[in-house]
Amino acid sequence: MNPAMNASAERSLWAATADPAPVLPALARDIQADVAIVGGGYTGLSTAYHLALGGVSSVVIEGQSIGWGASGRNGGFVSTRFRASLPAILVRHGRDVARRMHALGQEAVDCVEEMAADLDLGSAAFGRYGNLTAAYDARGLARLHGNAAWLRKEMGETTMRPLSREEITAAVGSQAFVGGTLNEAGAAVHPLNFVRGLARGAAARGVEIYERTRATAIREVAGGVVVETTGGTVRAGRVVIATNAYTDAAARGLRSRVIPFPSAVIATARLPPGLLRTILPGGRLCSDSKRVLRWFRIMDDRLVFGGRGAFGQGASQAAYRRLAREMTAIFPAVAGHAVEFRWSGLVAMTLDALPHIGREGERTFYAMGYNGTGVAMSNLLGRYLAKMIREEPVDMALLAGEHFRAVPMPMLRRPAIKVAAAWQQFLDGIGR
C-alpha cells in the first residue's frame, strides 16, 4: 500500500515550519554599492555577510524571495563531502591537492556551524547529528568501506567509520541495507530557517536586500559594473553571480557551465510516537549508495524522503509516487500514513562533479555548481568570495574557476539529463 497524496499542489515542509519571512522591499530606484550580488540564497547572502564583517558594502537582489531556490528547498544535510571521488583526485592531481580538497570539505561544515552560532540561528537547528550512508548490496558496501579506510589512511580522518549489517539496521531502523558508514562530522539544518536567519543577520550589518527584483542585464563598464533590474539600476565596483541552477541569460557565460538537475522531496504526516522511535532512532540522517541518490531524515515528527531525478521543470505525480514507493520499501511500517508535503527544485551539476569559484573578466565573481551537496560549500564559498573581492590570497584547489568548463551543446542538456539519469537508474537496479 502506497501512502496517499493529500494535496494536489506542491507544498514544502520547510515553508510550513519556518520562522516568518523577513519583510524586504523590491528595488524601485537606482542605487550604488561597493558590491552588487545577484542571488538571495546561501552563496549570495554568505558573501554579503562576510563582506560586511570586513566593512565592504553590498546590495543583494533576488528575483523571487529569499531562499526561494535550492537554499530553501534542499534536504538540510550539511556534508563534508564532494560528489567527486577524493581517491580519484589524489591519483590524478596528487596528494597536496587531495588534502586541500579534503580540508575544504571539513572547513565548509565548520563555516556553517560558526555562522549559526555568530548569528544566533537557534531555529535553524544546526547539529552534528551524524550522517549515515547505507548500501543495498555487497558491491556498494565494499565501495563505502573502502572509502572509509582510505580516508583514515590517506587523510587522517577519524570521524568516518564502517558499519556492519547489524549496525546499519539498528541505526536506520530498516532491514533494507547490508551495511554502511557513519560520518560523525556530518550535520544538518532547517534549510529555510538558516537562509532567512542569514538574511536577517546580513541586513542587521548594513546589507541592502531586495526581493522580487530580477537582474535583466549585467555588464562591466569603465571603473565598475552595471546591473540592470526590473526595478532600477545597481552600480557597483564588483558583481557576484550567485544563482546556481537558476542562472539565466543575464549571466549567459556561466549558465552554459551548469546542468540544472531536478530533485524532489516528500514528507509524511506526523508519525505515532511508537513508530517514530523505530526510524533513525539515534537522530542520524541517512542517504544511500545509489548513483541516483535517495536520502531521508526525521523532522517535525515526520519522515522526510527525497532524491534526484524528478525530470521536467517540477516533479510529476509519477515522480512523487516513485519516491513514496521507495520510502515504503525501506520503511514498510510507514505505508498507510499520508504524505502531507511534497516539493521539488533544481540543483546545479557540473562536468567534473565539483562546485567552482572564480572571476570572469575584471570585476565579475561567481560561485556555483554544488552538485546537490551545497549547504555547507555554498556558505563557505561565500566566505571565500568575500576574500577574493578584498584581494586576499586563497587556495581553492580544483574549485578554482580555471577548472570550470562549459557543457558541450547546451541545447541538448535536458534530453541528455533524462538519458543519463535513466542509465544511472538502470545501473542501480542491476547492482552495478
Q: How many domains does the chain have?
A: 1
C-alpha cell, 286: 541517512
Asked whether residue 322 is assigned to any structural domain, the reply reads: no
Q: What is the mean pLDDT of residues 192-218?
A: 98
What was the pLDDT predicted at 315?
A: 55
Distances (CA, A) of 417 to 57, 122, 258, 264, 309: 39, 38, 12, 15, 9
Asked whether residue 214 is assigned to any structural domain, the reply reads: yes
Asked whether residue 326 is assigned to any structural domain, the reply reads: no
Q: What is the mean pLDDT of residues 238-261?
A: 92
What was the pLDDT predicted at 74?
A: 96
Alpha carbons 351 and 256: distance in angstroms, whole number: 11
Q: What is the mean pLDDT of residues 170-175?
A: 98
Query: Given a cut of 80, is residue 339 above it in pLDDT?
Result: yes
Tens of pLDDT, residue by residue over 19-45, are: 999 999 999 999 999 999 999 999 999
The closest of 301, 310, 235 to 274, measured between CA atoms, is 301
Asked whether residue 408 is assigned to any structural domain, the reply reads: yes
Alpha carbons 303 and 267: distance in angstroms, whole number: 6
Owning domain of residue 224: 21-129+185-257+350-422
Distance of CA 207 to the CA centre of its chain: 23
3-state secondary structure of 118: helix
Alpha carbons 183 and 186: distance in angstroms, whole number: 6
Query: Given a cut of 90, is residue 226 above it in pLDDT?
Result: yes
Query: Given a cut of 70, is residue 105 above it in pLDDT?
Result: yes
User: Which letter, b or e, does each residue of 8-40 get, where b requires 16 or more Cβ atoms within 10 Å of its Cβ?
Assistant: eebebbbeebbeebbebeebeeebebebbbbbb
Alpha carbons 42 and 48: distance in angstroms, whole number: 10
Tens of pLDDT, residue by residue over 108-124, are: 999 999 999 999 999 99
What was the pLDDT predicted at 415?
A: 58
What type of residue is 127? G
Alpha carbons 50 and 234: distance in angstroms, whole number: 20
Asked whether residue 324 is assigned to any structural domain, the reply reads: no
Query: At a CB cut-off of 8 Å and minimum separation 6, what does 264 contact?
Result: 306, 307, 309, 310, 315, 319, 320, 323, 342, 343, 344
Asked whether residue 313 is assigned to any structural domain, the reply reads: no
Q: Alpha-carbon torsion 230, 59, 76, 103, what sign?
A: positive
The closest of 234, 211, 232 to 25, measured between CA atoms, is 211
What CATH number did the domain enclosing 112 receive? 3.50.50.60
What was the pLDDT predicted at 9?
A: 64
Burial class (CB in 10 A: 0-12, 13-18, 19+), 333: middle
Alpha carbons 7 and 11: distance in angstroms, whole number: 8
Helix (H) or strand (E) holding 225: strand 224-229
Asked whether residue 118 is assigned to any structural domain, the reply reads: yes
3-state DSSP percent of the chain in helix, strand and coil, to 5: 40, 25, 35
Helix (H) or strand (E) holding 133: strand 131-135
Alpha carbons 171 and 161: distance in angstroms, whole number: 13
Tens of pLDDT, residue by residue over 136-153, are: 999 999 999 999 999 999
Query: Given a cut of 80, is residue 330 above it in pLDDT?
Result: yes
Tens of pLDDT, residue by residue over 385-425, are: 999 999 999 999 999 999 999 988 655 555 555 555 554 45
Asked whether residue 231 is assigned to any structural domain, the reply reads: yes
